[in-house]
Chains A and B, each alone.
Chain A
C-alpha cells in the first residue's frame, strides 16, 4: 500500500514576468517501509518536490494523496494539522529552537497536537530521545550538543508523534563523515523498524544507504531504481572508527 501518491504534480513560479516550471508533471508512489533517496543537481526541482511532500507548499496542479488523505484542497490550517500529525521533518540545518532544551525541542510537535491525546508529552519526548540514544542529554541546549547529536534531537522530534513518514532534507549536509554515518545508521535502524523515510541528498554515498534512488532533472524524474549494493551505515561506522583509532595509534607510537 502506498503512503505517498503523487499524480501529475506541477509547480510553476512566477518570477517577474518569467514562469519557472520547478516540477513538470511528476508521478510518484512511495510504499510503507520504503527508504527513498531523491537526488539531483540544484535547480532540478528536488527542493520543490520536498516542499510539496512536506505539505509546506501547494502544487499548481496535480493530486497528492498522503496516507489515504487527499491534500489538494486543504486550507493552511489543515496543512498545519497534516504536518503535525503525519510528517516528521529533519532539516539540513537541524532547525532546533535555540536556548531550548533537547527535551523541549522534541516536545514541540506535541505542543501543537490537536488530536486530544492525553499521553504525557514529557514522557513521550523522553522516550523518543532515548530511542535515538540521547537519554542522558535531555536538558542540554542545542549549543551544548555536537552536530550529530543535534541532528539526532531533530530526528527524535520528527519521530515523537509517530508520523506516516519522515522527510529529511539534506540531513547530513552539515555533518562530517562520522556524524553522517551515525545519522544514516539511525535512519536505517528506524527504517528497519518499519518507518518510511524520504530523503533529499546530493551525495551518492549517502544515497547508497537508501533502498531506492530517484534522480531528478529539470523538474522531472530522470530515473527511479532500487539500490543495487545497499550498504549498512552501522558497519561503515564501525570500520571508520577502527581505521581512525588505528591511525591515532600509529601517530601515538614511537
Chain B
C-alpha cells in the first residue's frame, strides 16, 4: 500500500462525513487561528515600538538609573553640566524629570497630567516640533523662567477652542505662562497618549516643583553614528568621575544606546506575546482532544469496516496508518483553514481596528507543524485501538 493510496483513502473517508469532519477540525481551526493572531498582534506592537524608537534617530544615547537596582538615583543637574562641559562626542543633551499625576489649573478648569522638566535640546532629540509659539530656550533655563509648553491634549482640556498662548496656568501652586504648543504626536505603542503632557524648563521644575532634585534620565545624541560607542564610553567615564566612583565599583547609572533601548522596550511586548501564544496553544491541545474523541467514536462505529479490511488482507499496520492518517489529515486541514482564517483576521485587525499585526512565515510553519503533531499524538491511541482488533470480533460486530 503506497502513501498516495493511503492518503486517498483517508481523504475519501473524511469527505464521507463532511459535517463531522468540519466540527472535529473546528477545535484545531480555532487553536491555530488564535495562536497565529495572538503572535501577530504581539509582533505587530513590538515592530511598532521598534519603529517609534528608531524614528528618534539612530544616534540616541540614554542615561538612566540602573534598572531594578536598589541603589538610589544619583543623577543630578551637576552631571548634565559636567557632560556638557567635558564630552567631545555628545551633540544635543537634555535632562528629563517626569512628574505624573500632577494637577494643572488653567482657564476655567483643571486637568491631571504629566509634567516634564526638560531642556531646549529635548525637541531636537525627540524630533518633536512646536506647532505654535516657541519652546523655551537656554535663557529660560538660566533664569528658571516659569514658562510652559503644552501638549495638544492638555491644551484642549484647559482651553477648549481657544489659543492657549500667553495664558496663565498653575502647576501645583506655582503659576506659569504658556509660551508654546507642541505638535500632536498621538499615542505610543503601549497606547498612552503622548500629547497629555506639559513641558517646563528643567531647572525650574527641579527648583520650584520637586523636592529631591533627582534627574529621571539624561538623553543625548552622539555627534555622528560612528561615534556612538565612543560617546557611550566617554559618557560613562565622565559620570563615574562625577559620582566619584572608585575603579571596580559598579556604576550607579546605566548608559544605553538605541538598540539596547529597543531591546528593553520590546522585552515586555515579547513576554506578553509568549503568554498569549501559550494560552492560544492550550486551545490547540483541546482541539486535539476533540479529534481523539471523534476518532475513538469512529473506530467503534467502523469496527465492521475494520473487520472487512482485515479479512481481505489488511495488516495491523495498514489499519493503524489508515486511522492515523485520517486524524493527521483532519488536523492538517484544520491547520490550513486556521491559517487562512488567521490571515483574514490579522488583516481585518490592521485595516479596521488600527491594531498593528505582523504575521511571520515561521509562525505559520510552526503552527501547521504543531497541528500535524497534535493529529499524530491524539490520533495514535484510537488508531492503535483499531489495529489491535481481532478480525473475527470485528467482523461479527453489530
CA distance A228 to B155 in the complex (A): 117
Contact between A81 and B304 (Cβ–Cβ < 8 Å)? no
Contact between B392 and A108 (Cβ–Cβ < 8 Å)? no
- Name the contact of A77 in the complex, choosing from B1, B9, B312, B316 (C-beta under 8 A): B316
Cβ–Cβ < 8 Å partners of B391 in chain A: 56-57
Asked if B309 is at the interface of the complex by the 8 Å CB criterion, the answer is yes
Contact between A89 and B311 (Cβ–Cβ < 8 Å)? yes
Asked if A63 is at the interface of the complex by the 8 Å CB criterion, the answer is no
Name B391's closest neighbour in chain A (CB-CB): A56
CA distance A1 to B309 in the complex (A): 31
Name A81's closest neighbour in chain B (CB-CB): B313
CA distance A183 to B317 in the complex (A): 34
Interface residues of B in 347-398 (CB under 8 A from A): 391-392, 395
Name B318's closest neighbour in chain A (CB-CB): A112
Contact between A77 and B315 (Cβ–Cβ < 8 Å)? yes
Asked if B308 is at the interface of the complex by the 8 Å CB criterion, the answer is yes
Contact between B312 and A157 (Cβ–Cβ < 8 Å)? yes
- Name the contact of A112 in the complex, choosing from B305, B307, B309, B395 (C-beta under 8 A): B309
CA distance A91 to B310 in the complex (A): 14
Contact between B392 and A97 (Cβ–Cβ < 8 Å)? no
Name A91's closest neighbour in chain B (CB-CB): B395
Cβ–Cβ < 8 Å partners of A91 in chain B: 395
Knowing A95-B304, A112-B1 touch, does A51 contact B312 (C-beta < 8 A)?
no
Contact between B311 and A112 (Cβ–Cβ < 8 Å)? no
Cβ–Cβ < 8 Å partners of A95 in chain B: 304, 307-308, 311, 395
Name A96's closest neighbour in chain B (CB-CB): B308
Name B17's closest neighbour in chain A (CB-CB): A99
CA distance A100 to B309 in the complex (A): 13
Asked if B16 is at the interface of the complex by the 8 Å CB criterion, the answer is yes
Contact between B9 and A111 (Cβ–Cβ < 8 Å)? yes
CA distance A95 to B12 in the complex (A): 19
B320 to chain A, nearest CB (A): 12
Asked if B139 is at the interface of the complex by the 8 Å CB criterion, the answer is no
Of A51, A85, A99, A112, most buried by chain B (CB within 10 Å of CB) is: A112
CA distance A54 to B312 in the complex (A): 10
**Binary interface encoding of chain A residues 82-98 relative to chain B, with 1 for a CB under 8 A from any of its CBs, else 0:** 01110001010001111
- Name the contact of A54 in the complex, choosing from B9, B16, B309, B311 (C-beta under 8 A): B311
A140 to chain B, nearest CB (A): 16
Asked if B244 is at the interface of the complex by the 8 Å CB criterion, the answer is no
A2 to chain B, nearest CB (A): 23
Name A88's closest neighbour in chain B (CB-CB): B312
Asked if A76 is at the interface of the complex by the 8 Å CB criterion, the answer is yes
B380 to chain A, nearest CB (A): 19
Cβ–Cβ < 8 Å partners of A157 in chain B: 312
Contact between A111 and B5 (Cβ–Cβ < 8 Å)? yes
Asked if A80 is at the interface of the complex by the 8 Å CB criterion, the answer is yes
Contact between B392 and A51 (Cβ–Cβ < 8 Å)? yes
Asked if B275 is at the interface of the complex by the 8 Å CB criterion, the answer is no
Asked if A109 is at the interface of the complex by the 8 Å CB criterion, the answer is yes
B397 to chain A, nearest CB (A): 11
Knowing A97-B305, A111-B9 touch, does A56 contact B316 (C-beta < 8 A)?
no
Cβ–Cβ < 8 Å partners of A89 in chain B: 311-312
- Name the contact of A85 in the complex, choosing from B1, B313, B315, B318 (C-beta under 8 A): B313
CA distance A43 to B207 in the complex (A): 108
Contact between A109 and B313 (Cβ–Cβ < 8 Å)? yes
Asked if B282 is at the interface of the complex by the 8 Å CB criterion, the answer is no
Cβ–Cβ < 8 Å partners of A109 in chain B: 312-313
Of B314, B315, B316, B318, most buried by chain A (CB within 10 Å of CB) is: B315
Interface residues of A in 127-175 (CB under 8 A from B): 157
Cβ–Cβ < 8 Å partners of B305 in chain A: 97-98
Cβ–Cβ < 8 Å partners of A99 in chain B: 16
Contact between B16 and A80 (Cβ–Cβ < 8 Å)? no
Cβ–Cβ < 8 Å partners of A56 in chain B: 311, 391-392, 395
CA distance A85 to B314 in the complex (A): 11
B253 to chain A, nearest CB (A): 74
Contact between A112 and B313 (Cβ–Cβ < 8 Å)? yes
Of B5, B308, B313, most buried by chain A (CB within 10 Å of CB) is: B313
Interface residues of B in 87-145 (CB under 8 A from A): none
Interface residues of B in 275-311 (CB under 8 A from A): 304-305, 307-311
Cβ–Cβ < 8 Å partners of A57 in chain B: 391-392
Name B9's closest neighbour in chain A (CB-CB): A111
**Binary interface encoding of chain A residues 45-57 relative to chain B, with 1 for a CB under 8 A from any of its CBs, else 0:** 0000001001011
B323 to chain A, nearest CB (A): 15
Interface residues of A in 218-243 (CB under 8 A from B): none
Name A50's closest neighbour in chain B (CB-CB): B392
Interface residues of B in 1-49 (CB under 8 A from A): 1, 5, 9, 12, 16
CA distance A92 to B116 in the complex (A): 91
Contact between A112 and B392 (Cβ–Cβ < 8 Å)? no
A43 to chain B, nearest CB (A): 15
Cβ–Cβ < 8 Å partners of B307 in chain A: 95
Cβ–Cβ < 8 Å partners of A97 in chain B: 305, 308
CA distance A150 to B144 in the complex (A): 103
Cβ–Cβ < 8 Å partners of A96 in chain B: 308
Contact between B392 and A80 (Cβ–Cβ < 8 Å)? no
B13 to chain A, nearest CB (A): 9
Cβ–Cβ < 8 Å partners of A84 in chain B: 312-314
A110 to chain B, nearest CB (A): 9
A-B contact pairs, 6 of them (CB 8 A): A54-B311, A57-B391, A77-B315, A98-B305, A112-B315, A112-B318
Please give me the 9 A-B residue pairs with the lowest Cβ-Cβ distance, nearest first: A84-B313, A112-B313, A109-B312, A80-B315, A56-B391, A83-B313, A95-B308, A77-B315, A112-B314
Known: A80-B314, A95-B395, A108-B309. 16 other contacts (CB 8 A): A54-B311, A77-B315, A80-B315, A81-B315, A83-B310, A83-B312, A84-B313, A85-B313, A89-B311, A89-B312, A91-B395, A97-B305, A97-B308, A111-B1, A112-B309, A112-B314
